[in-house]
């Protein structure tokens, strides 16, 4: 009977877990809808702005590209890692940390690499493991607005202009759909001109000058690029969590079925044993 009590306790525990994971799945699904709408609306504008800036930069002399286009020997690199503040979202955060470590150990093995972390999971991981975390911005997701993200972008741009970093790379999850996130290691600074030979090269009249337009557009484009990366990661996080909680709920449901079957078998065996004892006692009395 003690065994039956233990199985009943496990069934109750698994049932409670299943209710929690199911509720978390529903919450993530609701948040995903809002986050998905935000990135879908933002992405065309951000991509077109970046394309326009790259086309303009390609038509300028290298010396006229502006302070954000300066190509220098890569000695100091800043990785901007975007993760979540909470877990329970499968390998969402682990993939970002793995990609960042690969960049540190392989692509920039001969450079001094610093990390600017957006999201508690990467902040905690890299700090505990001895990486050079220069700043953290975990509160961004509490009030995710363009202005708040732009402040972070401005700080990065100022450090690049001052020569603190020779290259800045964004590492984040790009949202594709609820079940799929694509790891991105995207160049942020310096701004690189497009290499697309099919870019528009028509004869245009620029007012003000082409260089002034580039200097005006570049900061705005960089702020938008970082905001898009954070929005992408935000939507991808909710998609990953919804998928993880859906799988957890299915696994809990299957485990509950197996435990219920085990409980019924054990209960049937216990009842059969009691019946045999009664029959055996009756035969002994009749004998």
Q: What is the pLDDT of residues 89-148, one digit of tens each?
A: 999 999 999 999 999 999 999 999 999 999 999 999 999 999 999 999 999 998 999 999
Q: How confident is the model at residue 235 (pLDDT cuts 50, 70, 90)?
A: very high
Q: Positive or negative, the Cα torsion across 224, 226, 231, 236?
A: positive
Tokens 């302070």: give the residue. 67
Q: Where are the beta strands (DSSP E) in the chain?
A: 76-82, 112-118, 133-136, 167-177, 180-189
Instruction: Dump pLDDT digits (tens) for 31-73.
Output: 999 999 999 999 999 988 888 887 777 766 655 557 888 889 9
pLDDT one-digit tens code per residue, 73-85? 999 999 999 999 9
Q: Identify the active-site residue in 32, 53, 79, 89.
A: 89
Beta pairing, strands 180-189 & 167-177: antiparallel
Residue 124 main-chain phi, psi, to 5 deg: -65, -45
Instruction: Give the closest residue to 70 by CA, choosing from 209, 218, 196, 221.
Output: 218
Model pTM? 0.86
pLDDT band at 227 (very low <50, low <70, confident <90, very high): very high
Query: How many Cα atoms within 13 Å fall on the side-chain side of residue 115?
Result: 29
Helix axes 92-102, 120-128, angle to 10 degrees: 50
Q: Dihedral of CA 171/172/173/176: which sign?
A: negative
Q: Write the pLDDT tens digit of every residue in 131-183.
A: 999 999 999 998 999 999 999 999 999 999 999 999 999 999 999 998 899 99
The string of DSSP codes covering 67-129 is GGG------EEEEEEE--SS--STTHHHHHHHHHHHIIIIITTTSEEEEEEESHHHHHHHHHT
The reported pLDDT for the residue numbered 65 is: 57
Domains of the chain: 21-195+203-244 (3.40.1380.10)
Query: What's the rounded Cα separation, in Å, for the pair 117 and 67?
Result: 24
What is the per-residue pLDDT for 45? 92
Let me know how long the chain is.
287
Three-state secondary-structure class, residue 186 = strand
Instruction: Judge whether residue 259 has pLDDT over 70.
Output: yes
- The conformation of residue 207, written as its DSSP 8-state character, comes to S
| 130 backbone dihedrals φ, ψ, rounded to 5° | 80, 15
Q: Is the pLDDT assigned to residue 245 strictly greater than 60?
A: yes
89 catalytic? Reply is yes
pLDDT at position 11 over 60: yes
Burial 238-271, CB ≥16 within 10 A → b, else e: bbbbbbbbbebbeebeebbeebeeebeeeeeeee
């Amino acid at each position: 009977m003690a065994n039956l009590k233990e199985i009943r306790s496990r069934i109750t525990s698994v049932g409670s877990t299943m209710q929690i994971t199911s509720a978390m799945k529903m919450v993530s699904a609701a948040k995903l809808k809002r986050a998905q709408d935000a990135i879908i609306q933002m992405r065309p504008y951000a991509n077109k702005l970046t394309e326009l800036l790259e086309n303009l930069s390609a038509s300028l002399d290298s010396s006229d590209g502006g302070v954000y286009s300066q190509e220098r020997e890569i000695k100091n690199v800043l990785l901007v890692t975007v993760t979540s503040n909470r877990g329970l979202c499968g390998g969402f955060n682990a993939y970002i940390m793995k990609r960042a470590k690969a960049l540190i150990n392989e692509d920039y093995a001969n450079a001094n690499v610093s990390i600017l972390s957006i999201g508690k999971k990467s902040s905690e991981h890299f700090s505990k493991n001895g990486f050079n975390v220069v700043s953290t911005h975990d509160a961004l997701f509490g009030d995710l607005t363009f202005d708040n993200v732009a402040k972070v972008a401005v700080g990065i741009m100022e450090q690049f202009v001052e020569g603190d970093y020779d290259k800045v790379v964004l590492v984040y999850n790009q949202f594709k759909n609820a079940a799929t996130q694509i790891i991105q290691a995207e160049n942020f600074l310096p701004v690189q001109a497009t290499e697309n030979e099919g870019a528009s090269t028509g004869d245009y009249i620029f007012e003000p000058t082409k260089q002034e337009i580039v200097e005006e557009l570049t900061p705005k484009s960089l702020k938008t690029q970082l905001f898009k990366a954070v929005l992408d990661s935000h939507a991808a996080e909710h998609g990953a969590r919804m998928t993880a909680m859906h799988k957890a709920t299915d696994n809990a449901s299957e485990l509950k079925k197996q435990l219920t079957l085990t409980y019924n078998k054990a209960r049937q065996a216990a009842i059969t044993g009691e019946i045999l004892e009664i029959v055996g006692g009756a035969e002994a009395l009749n004998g």
